[in-house]
């Protein structure tokens, strides 16, 4: 490898191509410095239902490595797979309940961000066409995912971020006060990424109905988690299309659907809203061009792998994985809460949460980023986030084997930080760190 002007390792296009075996060796070599999520010490970015499951995903990805999801007339199977994924997801999220209106439908997208982009674009166009609002607003809590900022930036929509309440959940009264004549869309998270708490969806839905607004429930994290927690009797608050007033939802297959990366579902309550997502043009020399997402040419592998994941796991498998992940999260939570100097942020019901100093201003309070640094030195990878300064974990079924080790290490490094009073030099947060180029 030769150095580039930014001092990143870079490889020139070889004049004469390498043998496949050598290419694969090089890839393995390149990966050597990456986090080893297989060891169960990485608490973000990857979800694991075990080695056999990953092999199934890889086989399904390989089967569809070269097909193009842009055109389901050429590859009808990709259309069937997407239809199944949408139906299965809709069914988990209340579409079969009479209260849903019976028309819930949607699309497979490349991930949570694309699902949220589409929800905002659909709401913007609905507000422009139906209500004559030129520059619509989205009202959402400060905890809603950063992808909404990206959507606002891409689509010329204004975001009105409203501070969360002391429990880190959306403050519905404050959101109601932020609604104006330009508001097109309200957002609730189930659960939020930063603190893993579920917003009061029924109250947000009542507000949306009262003011004639759309409401998107971001269940990117919870779409394949909360329905199973509910069946386990560990969560009992309707958050989906059973709640009148919820007009769209996102649910990521590549999170708790244990699919390969690149698959999410966006759902709409009505056919009218769903239609708004379809882009059609004949305004070029290539004839009719229709597409339902951001990309034109689309990888079909993630669609096939997501289908393989749900078909292989089935409802029973997802139920079991949810129970396993939730048990592991409870053990980790108990370990954290056994230290009076630490506290969880809010009361997260599922498997995603953040924790930090119980009172960061108290004399002798531990610096949670120093705790994070010492855990990192022992091989644990936890996101750092702020405000407030916290460590963040996404617990999946694969962590059942490792959380007790994390709790034991946390006990030791916390004792060290409390004794030494050390503070981390590096205060940066790092969720979402793209490379150059
Ligand atoms: C609640 C929520 N929404 C949206 C996203 C964005 O999803 P993605 O990273 O797949 O684009 C995430 C990612 O963690 C999330 O937790």
261 close to ligand 1 (CB < 6 Angstrom): no
Query: Is residue 5, in this structure, part of any structural domain at all?
Result: no
Each residue's pLDDT tens digit, 157-167 = 999 999 999 99
Angle between helices 301-337 and 51-63 (to 10 degrees): 160
Q: Is the CB of 141 under 6 A from ligand 1?
A: no
Quickly list H helices, 246-300: 271-276
Q: Is 189 in the pocket of ligand 1 (CB under 6 A)?
A: yes
Nearest atom of ligand 1 to the alpha carbon of 252: 10
Q: Which atom of ligand 1 is nearest to the CA of 264?
A: 10
Ligand 1 atom 6, closest CA: 112
Does 218 share its domain with 155?
A: yes
Answer yes or no: do 297 and 380 share one domain. no
* Residue 166 within any structural domain of the chain: yes
Examine the domain organization and report whether 263 and 351 are in the same domain. no
Residues 260 and 320 grouped into a single domain: no
Please indicate whether residue 193, judged by its CB atom, sits closer than 6 Å to ligand 1: yes
Q: Is the pLDDT of residue 360 over 70?
A: yes
Per-residue pLDDT at 427:
86
Q: Do both 86 and 172 map to the same domain?
A: yes
Report if residue 212 sits inside a domain.
yes
Number of domains the chain is built from: 2
Q: With 80 as the cut, is the pLDDT of residue 134 above it? A: yes
Instruction: Return the bridge partners of 140, or none.
Output: 161
User: Does residue 226 have its Cβ closer than 6 Å to ligand 1?
Assistant: no
Residues 288 and 345 in one domain: no
Q: Which of 247, 282, 309 marks a domain boundary? A: 309
pTM here is 0.96
Report the pLDDT value the prediction gives residue 433, as an integer from 0 to 100. Answer: 64
Q: How far is ligand 1, taken at its centre, from the CA of residue 423, in Å?
A: 30
- Indicate the residue among 290, 309, 328 that finishes a domain: 309
Q: Is the pLDDT of residue 2 over 60?
A: no
Residue 150 CA to ligand 1 center (angstroms) comes to 12
Beta bridge partners of 384: 391
How far apart are the C-alpha atoms of 118 and 246, rounded to whole Å? Answer: 16
Distance 412 CA to ligand 1 centre (A): 32
Is residue 49 one of the residues assigned to a domain?
Answer: no
Answer yes or no: is the C-beta of 157 below 6 A from any ligand 1 atom.
no
Q: Which residue has the tokens 């592998």?
A: 301
Q: Judge whether 132 lies within some domain.
A: yes
Say which CATH number the domain at 395 has: 3.90.1150.10
- Judge whether 359 lies within some domain: yes
Handedness of CA 323, 329, 333, 335 (dihedral sign): positive
Q: What is the pLDDT of residues 60-96, one digit of tens each?
A: 999 999 999 999 999 999 999 999 999 999 999 999 9
CATH of the domain at 122: 3.40.640.10
CA of 373: how far to CAs of 271, 400, 403, in Å? 50, 23, 18
Top pLDDT among 9 and 30 is at 30
**Among candidate residues 352, 394, 339, 423, the one with its CA nearest the CA of residue 37:** 394
- Closest ligand 1 atom to residue 222 Cα is 1
- Predicted confidence (pLDDT) at residue 4 exceeds the cutoff of 70: no
Residue 245: give the domain boundaries: 63-309
Instruction: Read off the pLDDT band of 9 (50, 70, 90).
Output: confident
In a domain, 345, yes or no: yes
At residue 208, the 3 state secondary structure works out as helix
Atom of ligand 1 nearest to the CA of 255: 10
Same domain, 201 and 324: no
Residue 395 — φ and ψ, nearest 5°? -95, 125
- For residue 34, tell me if it sits in a domain: no
Ligand 1 lined by 218 (C-beta under 6 Å): yes
Mean pLDDT of the chain: 96
DSSP secondary structure string for all residues of 68-107:
BTT-TTT-HHHHHHHHHHHHHHHHHTTTTSGGG-S--EEE
Reply yes or no on whether the pLDDT at 437 is more than 60. Answer: no
Rounded distance between C-alpha atoms, residue 118 and residue 294, angstroms: 8
Q: Are residues 263 and 330 in the same domain?
A: no
Rounded average pLDDT over 369-375:
97
Q: In this structure, are 374 and 302 located in the same domain?
A: no
Final residue in a domain of this structure, among 309, 340, 370 = 309
- How many whole angstroms from 293 Cα to the centroid of ligand 1? 17
Determine the Cα angle at 36 with ends 193 and 54, to 5°: 80
Position 6 scores a pLDDT of 64
Query: Is the distance from CB of 179 to CB of 158 less than 8 angstroms?
Result: no
């Amino acid at each position: 490898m030769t150095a580039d002007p930014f001092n990143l390792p870079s490889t020139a296009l070889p004049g004469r191509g390498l043998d496949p075996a050598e290419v694969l060796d090089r890839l393995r070599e390149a990966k050597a410095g990456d986090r080893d999520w297989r060891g169960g010490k990485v608490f973000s970015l990857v979800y694991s239902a075990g080695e056999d499951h990953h092999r199934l995903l890889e086989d399904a990805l390989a089967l569809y490595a070269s097909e193009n999801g842009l055109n389901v007339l050429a590859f009808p199977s990709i259309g069937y797979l997407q239809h199944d994924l949408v139906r299965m997801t809709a069914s988990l999220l209340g579409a079969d309940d009479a209260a849903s209106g019976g028309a819930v439908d949607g699309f497979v997208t490349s991930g949570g961000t694309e699902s949220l982009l589409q929800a905002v674009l659909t709401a913007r166009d609905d507000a422009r066409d139906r209500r004559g609002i030129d520059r619509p607003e989205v009202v959402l809590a400060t905890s809603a995912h950063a992808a909404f900022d990206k959507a606002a930036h891409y689509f010329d929509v204004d975001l009105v971020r409203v501070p969360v309440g002391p429990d880190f959940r959306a403050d519905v009264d404050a959101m109601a006060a932020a609604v104006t004549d330009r508001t097109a869309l309200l957002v609730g998270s189930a659960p939020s990424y930063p603190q893993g708490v579920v917003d009061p969806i029924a109250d947000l839905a009542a507000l949306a109905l009262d003011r004639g607004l759309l409401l998107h429930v971001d269940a990117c994290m919870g779409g394949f988690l909360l329905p199973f927690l509910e069946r386990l009797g560990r969560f009992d608050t309707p958050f989906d299309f059973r709640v009148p007033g919820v007009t769209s939802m996102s649910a990521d297959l590549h999170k708790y659907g244990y699919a390969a990366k690149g698959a999410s579902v966006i759902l709409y309550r009505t056919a009218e809203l769903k239609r708004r997502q379809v882009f059609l043009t004949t305004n070029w020399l290539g004839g009719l061009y229709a597409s339902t997402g951001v990309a034109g040419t689309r990888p079909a592998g993630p669609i096939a792998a997501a289908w393989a994941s749900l078909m292989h796991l089935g409802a029973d498998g997802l139920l079991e994985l949810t129970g396993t992940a939730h048990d592991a999260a409870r053990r980790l939570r108990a370990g954290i809460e056994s230290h009076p100097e630490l506290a969880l942020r809010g009361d997260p019901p599922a498997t995603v949460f953040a924790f930090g100093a119980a009172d960061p201003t108290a004399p002798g309070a531990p610096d949670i980023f120093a705790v994070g640094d010492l855990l990192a030195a022992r091989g644990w990878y936890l996101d750092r986030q702020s405000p407030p300064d916290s460590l963040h974990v996404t617990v999946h079924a694969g962590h059942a084997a490792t959380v007790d080790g994390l709790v034991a290490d946390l006990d030791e490094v916390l004792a060290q930080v409390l004794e030494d009073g050390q503070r981390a030099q590096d205060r940066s947060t790092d969720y979402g760190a793209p490379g150059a180029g």
